[in-house]
Each structure stands twice: as structure tokens, then as C-alpha cells.
Structure 1
Amino acid sequence: MKSSHMVDSEELTQKPAAIVVLDGQSLPVGDVVRLAHGAARPVPGTEAMKRVEESWHAARELAASGRVYGRSTGVGANRSETVPTGAAADHGLRLLRSHAGAVGNPLPAREVRAMLAVRANQLLAGGAGLRPTVVTALCEALESGAYPVVNEYGSVGTGDIAALSQLGLALAGEHPWEGGTPPRAQALDNNDALAMISSNALTLGQSALALDELRRLVAATQVVGALSLLAVDGSYEAYAEPVHAARPHPGSYAVATTMRRLLGAPERPTPPLGRIQDPYGFRCLPQIHGPAQDAADLLERTLAAEINAAAENPLIRADTALNSSPAAYHHGGFYMAQLALALDHFRLAIAQTARLSTSGLSALNEPGFTRLPPFLADGEAASSGVMILEYAAGAALGDLRAFSAPASLGHAVLSRGVEEQASFASLGARQTLRACDAYRHVVGCELVAAVRALRQRDLRIDPGLPVGLAFDLADAALEPDVVDRPLTDDVRVAAALLDQFADL
């Protein structure tokens, strides 16, 4: 399966036509994803580059005339150690070399490229005091498809210092690049090193990728839920506008509206003949998908704030417009509590929607709802049909449930007790990315069963409706044979179809 988030090196090195202007103030999550996938070319904004230039000159002036953390002093527990003037030129590279100790597997290209995009935009906010040519180099790398080798582990949510040190050494010509043509080497010094690594750009980039994929998968799950509802002659009543106007949570109201649109249902549907109400898997879909939509919106707002933030410590302010002296503010803006909590909230919410998908799958296996053989089997005595899909979906849901454990409960005391808190937003970002594949396979299992049930019942769906378009896509792609056979390929195909369903 090659889903929308999987990009090969050949695609990355093709010159994209679209342009994304990086201005340090208004970069959306969607553009970070496009840059990570090589689907756009970054261009630094003119005014933003002026801010970078002013900030760089201010930082050099401050470091030459006073004590500025990480520039004229050491870092962490070494914050009180003054860097001798004669050693200042080498201090920056020594700092990068000592901190470039990330471990574990090398990260995929798209995750590193997302980091480059976020860091370039943050630098353009004008608070880092980093030389402007570094921004240009990051944009050149994004355009050519080049990315440094970055290892997985090295952050606890108080700055991705190990990963960004590897980037800094790559920019200085001391660390390998992959992909396209690397940018020209940068002569980084003591005024550049901490400014380069004082960021959570990797965590933010990974979070942006995870949010984009999971938001689309949740939307696709609603399409699958609509197919399953039709397969069991479910009621539209649970999506009626008066129900959600009476309890107006924004996400639930929006999901109910979406379900009516997918199904072509009126705002006030007529109660069906037969059973009075459906199982929770259908009746509570807006109440379970709604919180996931709300959580996605919260995470997107949090990411938008951080992607466009000047959060470096110290924050360098030139304030030339105010005719005031430059200043360096030492602070804790690198601490990612908001992001860690938003990621945890989002994963817990999507775990609920995936669990609801397994409820729909169980209903599709039940003759009392479908009026078909148990497990949608072929009619041969004791045939198992799609029975195994419940087990496969349950196994994938188990992984998803494990990934949903709150990362923000983590704790660490580091650097001789000076850094005695950690948000573990970095862990939350990795867990959210890992949740994508498990989620995709849970819903793929439900889709295979829903299409089989619709085929066996020979139900005709209006092709002018979104749910009808979805059925036609799946009907053309999935194997029609219902004899007992391995269903691995069916789920693989169905899981890949979810990317197209999201566009419906």
C-alpha cells in the first residue's frame, strides 16, 4: 500500500510548481505537510528576512557586550560558565558536536523535511538571532529534496536539541545529507549554534504530518460508517438536525451534518419501519466522531501558534522600530505543555472513533442486522467469511490503544537538576504518527465487510451521492469472490482507498 503520506526520493527531487511563502507569521499546517512531501517550493518573505537580519546583528552586539546564554556562556548546568573570548569562535561547533547525539533509527525523509520547513519559518519570526544565510540554506534543501540524517530519539519535549544539532552539523558540512543536492556549507559560530537548536521543530513537523493524515482518515471513516449504515438498513434519525441543535457541541453538530450530506438524508428524517433504534456503532457516531473533530481543531490551532512562534531561548529582540536597545530575554517558551496535552487529547479521541469502527464491523457480521449468513459467508456449511476481520481489527485497535497512552504523564530531571520538568511532547508526536497505520487498518477491515454486505444484499446506492461514489470506488477495487480465502490483500486495498474517501 502506498498511501498519501508515503513519498519516494524520486518524487522529492522533482521540482514542484507551487510556491509557499515563509513569513514567520502565517504558515498553516497544510503547507508544512506540502513542503514535507515535496509538493511545494519555499520562498522566504522579504520583510521576514529583514527581521532575521536585524535579529542577527542584535544578537552579535549583545553577545559581545554582555552575558547571553549559549552565546557567551555554556548551556544547561553550564549556564554560569563564561566562554573565553579566545574560544568563542569554536564554541558554537563544539556545542553542536556535543549535542548531536540523537540515537535510534534514521527518520524518514518526510519527517526531516517537515522539521526543516518548520525551523525555517520559525527563524523568519525574527527572534533567534541566527545568520540569514541559514534560512536560505534550509529553503535550498527543501527545494532540492536534500535532508540531513536525523535519528529518532533525543528529545523529551523541551527542545529537539539532538536532532537540530545534527541539522546544524550538516549545514556546517560535518554531517551527512540524503536525497538531493545539499545546500552550501555554513560557517556557524558561537552566535549561531544555540539559535539553531533552540526549537521543537522536529516534534512540530511530526505532529503536523500526523494531524493531516489522521484528520483525513477520520473523515474517511465517516464515509465507511455511512456504507455500513446502509448495509444494515440503519436509521438516519441519529443524525437529525434537531437532535444536535438541542445539544450543540460544534464537532458533533458538524459530523451529523456531514453524515446527512453523505447519505442524502433530510434534516428531519422519517423514523424507519422495523427496529426502533440502532446499535451504538451507528447511533452514537456523531457523539464519538465529534470530539475527534474538536480535538483535531485544537491541535491545529496549537500547531499554528508554535510553527509561527519565535520561541528560542534567549529571545533576541532588535526593536529597531521602537528605537530601543536590543535585548535578550531568557525564558521557558521552549516547553511544549500545550502541544503535549493537545496530542494526548487527539489520540484518545481518535481511539474512540476506531473502536466505533469495530462496533460497525461486528454488526455487519450479525444476521439479525444484515439478514445475510453469519460473517457474510458464501452459504457453504460453517463457512467463516469475514470472521477473521474482527480479530485483525481488534489487534490493530490494541496497538492504537497503546499509542494513546498520555505522553504528558512522563517525567525527567536532567542536566544536574537544572531542567527538572519535561513535557514529552516529542513522544506524543511519535505516538500520534505511529497511530496512523493501525487506525488505517481498523477502518479498512470495516470497509471490506461493508462492501461485501452491500453486494450480497444487491443494494443500489444513488451514484450521485457521496456514499454512492464511495461504493463505486470500492466495488471496482475489491475482489468480489466471497469464498473462504485470505483477506489480507482485500484489507490492504481497502486501507489505501481511504485516501480517496477523505476527498468525498
Structure 2
Amino acid sequence: MSHGEAPIRIDGRTLTCEDIVLVARGASVRLDATARKRAQDAWELAEDITATRQVYGRTTGVGANRQEEVDGDAVLGHGLRLLRSHAGGVGPLLPDDQVRAALLVRLNQLAAGGAGTHPRVLDALEQAIRVGALPAVHRFGAIGTGDLTALAEIGLTLAGERPWRSGAVPPVPLGTGDALSFMSSNAATLGESALACAELQVLLRASHAVAALSFLALGGSAEAYASAVHEARPHPGQAHCAAQMRRLLGIDDAPAAGRRIQDPFGLRAFPQVQGPALDSLAQLDRILGVEVNARAENPLVAPEAGDVFHHAHFHTAYVSVALDQARAAVHHVAELSTARLGDLVEPAMTDLPAFLSSGPAGSSGVMILEYVAHDALAQLRHAALPVTLGNAVVSRGLEDHASFSTQAARQATVAADAFRYVLACELVAAARALRMQDVQLADVPARNVFERAAAVLDPSLEDRSLTHDVALAVDLLTELAEL
């Protein structure tokens, strides 16, 4: 946590994707006292009800073992047996930012007061986030119906049974009722989803700036962004994109004609393609806002009703469907970026040498950028394939549907990484084209974008490796998103 930065308040009701990003990057947290009391009330109610009747996972087995009653001496070790048997994750370890995101989401969900987990578990999670302690969490082991393996590994680490990956906090006792109530969450999936959602939103904002540079280099027609056009079909994302392009390019109510009566789709259809992506990410952000503040544990401990309810909030179809839609929409935006890159290397579109080359005949210029961009686009296309068309039947047929939101989140991370490279290739080419045209740009925000890019990217035009240029452009996109 940086000096002077206020901790993120954890109250079980107001956590946002932006908060998750901040904590994943090192911000600290503070558990709200009212939220802790809410968790205490739920724990006390769960203890009282468990003493009088069967409650899933507390006095019974889980999954197809739900009918198996746990009583007598077996009750004492039931919770730890559940955690140990479910801590079977495999594969590589999750990166640090995703683990911090998972810890945060689980803490906030427990603070919502529906789990019945002892408040000392919340205290341990809060302390782990504050001191930077990270458990070792394996990637594979969930299908969108609860991050059972990941949370079991975290739970056993909190209990002192597993070593910390980095840092440590004192072990916390886990009672019989703490095991399933802690595991009954999709916190790791939601954490990764929030990080990917935020990253994709940044890149979509940056794509306005990058497309504006290509528009200038290609002498685009401003008519495609006119307010009258988008008032005629006012989808929110589309209208927002057109407004951003008007702002960046200084387009007024009487847009000037471009070089062509109609531009290629990369310029002309940008609002119509960018708009669905903006709307999809806004919808995903809204859904994640519900999920990370939800009392989604099964069973739900409801102090306001004085009862415990068995249900299926562990199923995350909302999340998986929204992630599938977001990835598909972003893929279309990336396709337009590669289309504009193709226009930028075409002399008829820029009045510049082919491939923006400078040197003897046959010089290649930025030719290789198309290959790089289409490689990244192919990666994005693969990541955009829907995961919600699959299914799984597990636990002796009892659990006969799965959302695969975990895989959808994982693919969203891949898609964001690939999308950043696609945009970076276009940025390198657009900045180079404007540099070669050497025209005086009007005093509009897009000129600031170009000046920032020109200050960072290598001005050399001879044939050379563009690896470093693309790397610089990748890093620059976050800054351009704020311009």
C-alpha cells in the first residue's frame, strides 16, 4: 500500500471492480465493524440451528453425500476433513494479483453476513491482505459451481496446515461449520473476472485514442461520427463511442468531408462495433458488482429470517454468459483494429510508401506488424469462443449442470493480453504514418495523443526490429485510455 492511500473499506455491500484492482495491486483494506457484527450474528444463528436440525455441510456430507449424517465424535473433525479432501487443485499457481483478488472477494462476501463463518476467519483474511501474505493456490479445480479447491487451499493455509507462498499470519482455528461456509463461493473466479473486466475497459477506452490517430493518418470522413447519425439509432455504447471520437477529433455539428465519400469499415463502422463491447463490459461490471457483494453461500444463513436456506447461488451462469458476450464483442473491436492497420500500410489510403517504409526500394517498414497483430488476434479469437456451450455432470449425477464461469474468466484474461498487442501494433503504425506525413495537426485532444506517442516511440524510420516499439506501445495504452 502506498503512503497516504486510504484502505479500502470492506462492508459486504459496496465493493467494486475498481476496488478489487486496487487491492490486487497492493492497496490495503479495513473490515467494517458493522459488517463484522453481521458475520457474528450469522455465525451464532448457524450454531443455534445446527444444534436442532440437519444443515448441509455442517451436520451432513456434501454433494451426493448430502444424505450422510455426521454425528457423534465424527463432528469434531468434519470441517477439516472437508477442507483436506477438497484441497485437490492442480496445475500452475495463480499469479499474486489474482490470489489477492480472491482473498478480497471472499472477505467481502463473508462480510455480507450469509455464510455463518466465525468472524475470526474474516479477521485472518483482513490481516493476510494487509500484510501481503499469500497462500499457494492452484489453477485447475473449478467448473463454475464454486471454487472449491482454491478456497479449500486458502482455508487450510489460514488454519496453519499448509505453508504460505509468501508472508504469513497466525493460524486461525476452523470450526466444523467454517469449512463448507468458507468454500461455498466463486471468489477466485470473480476476482479474476473483475481484473479482466477492468483491463478490457481500459483497453476499450484506449482504442478510442488509437482509432483517432488512424483516422487522422487515413484522412477519415467525420460524417460517420456525426451526432445526427447516432441519434438515429441511439444504442448507449455506440453513442458514447461516437461522442468520444467527436471529442478527440474536434468534430462539430457540421463534420468536414474526408478523402473518400465513404471510409472502409475500420473507420466508418467503429462506433457500431465498439458500442456492443462497451455495453457488454458495462453489463459485466454490473453483474460482478452484484456477485462480489452477494450472500451466495449454500446454505444461506439469514438472520433477518431467523433461518437457514438451501439453494443454488453457487451457480454462476450470469457471470459466464456475460464473460462470453464480452470476449466476443471485444474480438470484433480487435478485428477492426487489424483492418485499420491494413489500411495504414496501403499507399492509396495514406499517400505514403507501402508499409510506411523509408529507404531503398523493397524496404519493409512496418510490414511485420500485420503478422504480429493477426497472431494476437488469432489468440483472442480462440479465447473468445463460448465456454457456456459445455456441460458437466458430477457427484454421482446430483450436480448436473455447470456454468464454466471459471474458464470464461480465464479466457477473458487471455483475451485482454492479446487485445493489448493488437492495439499496440495499430498505435505504432498510426503514429509512424502521422510522423511521416509531417502535417500540422489541429489543436484537438487527438493531437495530445499523437504527441504523447511520438515522445515515447522511436522516431527512426529505417528497417529495424519493432519489438521494442510494440512493447512501449503496450505500456502506453493505459495512459492513452485517460486522454
CA distance in 1, matches of 2:440, 2:84: 65
- 2:478 aligned with 1:493: no
| Residue pairs, 1:2-17, within 5 angstroms | 17=5
| Residue pairs, 1:349-368, within 5 angstroms | 349-368=329-348
CA distance in 1, matches of 2:294, 2:373: 40
| Residue pairs, 1:280-359, within 5 angstroms | 280-319=265-304, 326-359=306-339
CA distance in 2, matches of 1:268, 1:252: 19
| Corresponding position of 1:373 | 353
Aligned counterpart for 2:223 among listed residues 222, 233, 237? 237
- The superposition leaves residues 390-435 of structure 1 with CA deviations (integer Å, 9 ceiling, x where unpaired) of 1110011000000001011121110111111000000000000111
Q: 1:281/1:244 Cα in 2 relative to 1: closer, same or farther (>3 Å)?
A: same
- The superposition leaves residues 449-473 of structure 1 with CA deviations (integer Å, 9 ceiling, x where unpaired) of 10110011002224x5321121111
| Corresponding position of 1:251 | 237
- 2:146 aligned with 1:167: no
| 8 A Cα contact 1:241 1:268, kept in partner | no
| Corresponding position of 2:34 | 47
How many pairs align? Answer: 483
- 2:244 aligned with 1:265: no
Corresponding residue SS for 1:484? coil
Deviation, 1:16, is: 6.7
1:352 aligned partner, one-letter code:
H
- 2:191 aligned with 1:211: no
Corresponding residue SS for 1:178? strand
- 2:453 aligned with 1:474: yes
Corresponding residue SS for 1:277? coil
Aligned counterpart for 2:410 among listed residues 412, 420, 430? 430
Deviation, 1:198, is: 0.1
Deviation, 1:178, is: 2.7
> Quick check: 356-365 or 486-495, which moved more?
486-495
Aligned counterpart for 1:222 among listed residues 195, 200, 208? 208
| Residue pairs, 1:407-422, within 5 angstroms | 407-422=387-402
1:474 aligned partner, one-letter code:
A
Corresponding residue SS for 1:85? coil
| Corresponding position of 1:483 | 462
CA distance in 1, matches of 2:329, 2:67: 44
CA distance in 2, matches of 1:494, 1:424: 33
2:267 aligned partner, one-letter code:
F
| Corresponding position of 1:457 | 437
- 2:261 aligned with 1:276: yes
Deviation, 1:268, is: 3.2
Structure 2, unpaired ranges of 5+: none
- The superposition leaves residues 168-209 of structure 1 with CA deviations (integer Å, 9 ceiling, x where unpaired) of 0011001122333x2221110211000000000000000000
| 8 A Cα contact 2:221 2:260, kept in partner | no
| Corresponding position of 1:6 | none
CA distance in 2, matches of 1:203, 1:268: 48
Aligned counterpart for 2:169 among listed residues 178, 183, 189? 183
CA distance in 2, matches of 1:16, 1:220: 29
RMSD of equivalent CA atoms: 1.2
Q: 1:134/1:15 Cα in 2 relative to 1: closer, same or farther (>3 Å)?
A: farther
1:276 aligned partner, one-letter code:
I
Aligned counterpart for 2:25 among listed residues 26, 37, 43? 37
Deviation, 1:19, is: 1.8
| 8 A Cα contact 1:260 1:267, kept in partner | no
Deviation, 1:112, is: 0.5
CA distance in 2, matches of 1:186, 1:284: 57
CA distance in 2, matches of 1:101, 1:347: 29
- The superposition leaves residues 213-246 of structure 1 with CA deviations (integer Å, 9 ceiling, x where unpaired) of 1110111111010001100111111110000000
CA distance in 2, matches of 1:402, 1:446: 21
> Quick check: 398-407 or 434-443, which moved more?
434-443
- 2:459 aligned with 1:446: no
| Corresponding position of 2:80 | 93
Deviation, 1:271, is: 2.5
CA distance in 2, matches of 1:275, 1:265: 17
What stretches of structure 1 move > 3 A for 4+ residues in a row?
none
| 8 A Cα contact 1:22 1:42, kept in partner | yes
Corresponding residue SS for 1:21? strand
- 2:125 aligned with 1:145: no
Deviation, 1:487, is: 1.0
| 8 A Cα contact 1:373 1:379, kept in partner | no
CA distance in 2, matches of 1:403, 1:263: 33
Percent identity at matched positions? 50
Deviation, 1:382, is: 1.2
- The superposition leaves residues 53-77 of structure 1 with CA deviations (integer Å, 9 ceiling, x where unpaired) of 0000111111121100000000001
Corresponding residue SS for 1:408? coil
CA distance in 2, matches of 1:485, 1:379: 11
Q: TM-score, normalised by structure 1?
A: 0.94
CA distance in 1, matches of 2:480, 2:284: 23
- The superposition leaves residues 130-178 of structure 1 with CA deviations (integer Å, 9 ceiling, x where unpaired) of 0001111111111111111000011000000100000100110011223
1:499 aligned partner, one-letter code:
T
